[in-house]
Amino acid sequence: MKKIVSLLILSALIALFVGCAKDPHSIVIPKDAAQMEVSFSWAGIEACTHASPEIRVDRIPDGTVELQVRLKDINVPVYNHGGGRVKNDGSGVIPPGALTIGYNGPCPPYKERHKYEFSVLARDAQGQIIGFGKSRQLFPPKQ
């Protein structure tokens, strides 16, 4: 009986620890980060490819040296679509195809539409997050 109680307590402690542990991949956006506006279009983007669309980012804060982009399938958030990092050239435009390493484009199941979200972080020279924005759209787009 003592063994069963001990195992139950140990199991509860493990479940509590695992349930409260932070996701090591989560990113905390500072409260003072600038709010950026993000827009994009799926026009010309084929399903299940590595071709990223043009992404426009407005209100990029001064001091931004890099934009970090991530694509997320809102319908299946556990699937990692990746993203990439792009040097900030001041134009506010991330060109089509700029996300080359680790980016997997939208790929919903056949004849389904999923909602996808691009999130963009602005990082300064020290790698600190100084801006954040995101935008969502369905894929494939309506014809």
pLDDT tens digits, 92-131? 999 999 998 889 999 999 999 999 999 999 999 999 999 9
Give all domains of the chain, ordered by start, each with its CATH number.
25-139 (3.90.280.10)
Burial of residue 55, with CB atoms counted within 10 A of its CB: 0-12 exposed, 13-18 middle, 19 or more buried: buried
Q: How many CB atoms lie within 10 A of CB 17?
A: 9
Query: 134 vs 14, 16, 18, 49, CA distance in Å?
Result: 35, 32, 29, 21
Length of the chain: 143
pLDDT on residue 20: 44
- pTM value is 0.81
- Calculate mean pLDDT across residues 35-62: 96
Q: Among residues of the chain, what percentage have pLDDT more than 90?
A: 74
